[in-house]
Amino acid sequence: MLTTRDTAGHDHESAAESSLPKRTLLLAVARRGLPGVLEASLVPAAVFLLTSKLFGTRWAMVAVLAWASTMFVWRRWRGRRPPALVIVGLAGLAVRTLIGVVSGSAFFYFVQPVATMLAVASLFVVSLAFGRPFIARVAHDFCPMAADVVTRPSVKRLFVGLTVVWAGSQLLNAGATVAMLLSLDTSSFVVLKPLISLAISALAVFVTVRWALRVAHREQLVFAAV
């Protein structure tokens, strides 16, 4: 849990505590982010490319859906309850695959996630308009915070700023996706799309971590065992 530093401790303990947020956040990002990148972006891209070369575009779309469904069943079999967003994402992929297979168009198949990106960006913006930045709602999943920390003005400003950052990353990703769809062939798009999306997400994560650490240092916040 993120809480206020106890200034009564020894100097060497304070030094150790001050280094804890950076190490903890970076490890948490790596543990949560890297498996998701492989499962949701790089492996599906490889599956699509290989299957399309062997059996054509329609079967490649079906193969990607089969991969996502297999991973979903694997989680359930191991007793891991998939997050609601994963279930929604799988349902969206099923609809996307149906439209792609029926139309036979790779463009219609790949352009559909742009609508999701725009919807997520809109959600972020609307949450700001209502004074309830969306990042504040998901921050506790990555870093539980004490009640007094959440109400601090600097932390509230952090949530607002990071909500803007992630809304911008969604818009940038959507724009890059459309631009690549209009200018690249399918094979090039499948290779470059996950790499560009990863770069945009990595930049947003970098900004998030650096900004959060700066606020934590200024507010003298540390991670405490719970």
| Residue 185: predicted pLDDT | 92
Q: How far apart are CA 212 and CA 24, in angstroms?
A: 12
What CA–CA distances, in Å, run from 158 to 7, 135, 214, 216? Answer: 24, 9, 10, 10
pLDDT at residue 97 in the model: 93
Bin 104: left if φ > 0, else alpha if -120 < ψ < 50, else beta.
left
Provide the β-strand partners of residue 2. Answer: 145, 223
How do the domains of the chain map onto residue ranges? 2-55+110-223
pLDDT digit of tens for each residue in the chain (226 aa)? 455 555 444 444 444 444 445 555 556 655 655 555 566 677 888 899 999 999 999 999 999 999 889 988 887 888 877 665 567 678 888 989 999 999 988 899 999 889 888 988 998 999 898 888 888 777 665 666 666 666 778 878 888 999 999 999 999 999 999 999 999 999 999 999 988 988 998 898 888 888 888 887 786 665 544 4
CA–CA separation, 138 and 120 (whole Å): 13
**Which of 33, 5, 35, 9 is closest to 20 using CA atoms?**
5
